[in-house]
Structures are given as structure tokens and as C-alpha cells.
Amino acid sequence: MPTTAFVAVHAGAGYHSLVSEEQVKKSLRLACRQALSVISHASTPLELVEEAISALENDPSLNAGHGSNLTIDGTVECDAALMEDSGRFGSVGAVSGIKNPIRLARSILDYSQVPDPLGRVPPLTLVSEGARAFAQRHPRDKVQLVQPESLISEKARERWQHWKRRLESTPAVNCGDDSDFHDIQDTVGAVASFDGHMSAGVSSGGLLLKCPGRTGEAAVYGAGCWAQPGMACSISGTGEYITRANLARSLGRALAAELREDYADPHEVLEHTLTKEFWDPSRSLGEHYPNAGVLLMTAGVGTRARLWCAFTTPTMAIAYASSTNPKPKVLILRRPQKSSGSGNETVRIFLTAFAL
């Protein structure tokens, strides 16, 4: 009996305006369809994740690949990672001039399986010029080297110009209304289940006006994505706080611990992990509204795959599809507004689940 393939994608946790909603939904639909298009020759869910994220990176309206946020110097530096439930992992950080950073992350993951004549340990992560040099030294058809400037979208340039002027003209003690600035820090990602295995991935252009050389959670092992038998997750949000929490790995460990006790409630694990490993520590460091979003897929032996989404931001955009139900289901999930109170002391996690 053919194995059903499941794929789910996200366009980040943040704020998706009604104006941008249709474009985001269109991008997510395309990503699901591109992922499912490779099923006929795919051997692992890793290929579905790579294809889905590649499609998102090609959309100039999203903060990944072409369209990424610009550094303080006005350049594009991207992070991306892939992981299989076997533990294999590959990532790139602060890389420029690569059309699809997720494909280079795949190359690094695959390289780890090549025997080294001297027994050298292969890298998990390569950054900046080292990552680009690896792409030149180990060419792969799908990895395209391009002029770094070609990855700058008009929208990203306009945002950079606007906020660079604000930064240079506004006293540090009074940044004014910067809510729109924090709405555009999102990350994209995907998770998939196929033939009894699971994979996860993530890609991001990082923070707007970030320091050159900065790497976010999308490049860090255990932070931006995680896959293990029975689960795969992709994370979006404020990279530094997600990295401190090693959030994706923390979630995987918590689920594994529950399974060892013959009991696992992903809803409970998600809520507890986001609160104790992310929200509370971030608040203790002075972050009033820690931003994170989690897309989690679970699939036990003989059980139907299930999708979970949890986020602390106003919205999170997701989509999912399968080989048996190939029409993508697309959702802009919106966290209900509090009716009263500042909300500063309350953990603001919106959590929902879908049967696949």
C-alpha cells in the first residue's frame, strides 16, 4: 500500500495584515504543491521539506531568500537548516549570494554522509564566505550562486530605507511606535512525514537592520527546527531568545520524555515548553512580549499524522496538504485579543491542532 505523504508549511509568526493575507496564502499553497510534486521520485520527507521551503524562498514578499530583510549595511544574509529524524542535520548562516539557502543546507547535510579520507568530522553548519565557498567547491545542480544584489527585493529595499532613516533620526531613548518594525521579523519553514520518517526545515533573512554576520535560530542546531522519530517541528520568532531556549530541541526532548512514560499530550507539552523554556526566561531578561511560533507534526506507529500550531504573536500563517488530499488547506491563524488588562504578566499562547 502506498505511503501517504504529509507536508505542512508556515510563513512565520508575527503579524500578517489583511492587505498581505492573499499573497501569503498564495505562497503557502504553492509551497505545498511544489513539495507534493516530488513524491513520485522522493525517497525521504527531507525532499518534500526542501522543495516547500525553496518555493517560499523564491517569493519576494517573504523574509527568506529573495525578499529577505536587509542588514544595517543594506545587504542580504540568510540562515537555513534541515534535519531528518535520523539526526542528520545541515545548516548555513549569514550566507550571501545563494538563491536558495535551504538547498545549500541540504548539500551540507548530504556531505556529512561522505567518508573522509582523513577521518575529519564533517560540519553541521557553515557561515558567510565559508558557506559560499563550500557551494563552489561542492557543486550541486540545485544550488545556484547568484549576485548578492539580485536577492534584494524592492519591498525589502523600501523597508530598509524607511527604518534606517528612523534609526538615524530617532533618539535611542525614545524609539516611538515601532510595532510595525517588529511585525516583519518572521521566518519560514516546513515539516513533513513520508514512508514512516519525518523531517523539518527553516529559512530566514533574519532581523531587519541586523548586524552583518549575525546568525539566528534558523542556522542553529536545536533552535529553529528539529526532527526525531514521531515528530518534526519548525520554529519562527525572535531568534536570540529561541536560540537561548534551544526551543526546537527542548520540545523534542519533552515529547520523548512523555513517550517514555507511555503518555504524550502534545498540547500539554507545547504549552509547558513554550512557557517554561521560552516565555518565562525571555521575560526574565527584560523582553516584555517574547515572540515565537511552533509548527509541529506528530505521527506515531499506526496512528494518523496530526498538526499542531502554537504561537505568542498576533498571527501565524500555515498551510498543509497530503498525497491523498493534495489541495492545500491555508490558514492565517489569529490569536484572540484580550478583552482587558495589559497582558504583560500573562503567557499569551494560542494553540490549536488539526487532524491530517
Q: Which residues are catalytic?
A: 187
Non-local CB neighbours of 349 within 8 Å, separated by 6+ positions: 270, 271, 274, 275, 279, 310, 311, 312
Of 93, 291, 75, 293, nearest to 203 by C-alpha is 93
All residues at 6 or more sequence positions from 262 whose CB lies less than 8 Å from its CB, including other chains: none
15 with 183: CB under 8 angstroms? Answer: yes
Rg (CA), the chain: 19
Q: Which amino acid is at 170?
A: T
d(CA 312, CA 190): 19
Q: Could you tell me which residues are beta bridge partners of residue 189?
A: 10, 202
DSSP, residue by residue, 7-57: EEEEEEEE---HHHHHHHHHHHHHHHHHHHTTTTT--SHHHHHHHHHHHHH
DSSP structure class, residue 145: B
DSSP state of 326: -
How far apart CA 171 and CA 184 sit, in angstroms, is 22
Altogether, the residues listed in the chain come to a count of 356
In a 13 Å sphere around the CA of 287, the CA atoms on its Cβ side amount to: 21
Give the integer Cα–Cα distance in Å for 118 and 222: 28
Cα 182 to Cα 14: distance, rounded to the nearest angstrom: 8
Which single residue is written with the C-alpha cell 541540504?
106
Residue 259 is given by DSSP the state H
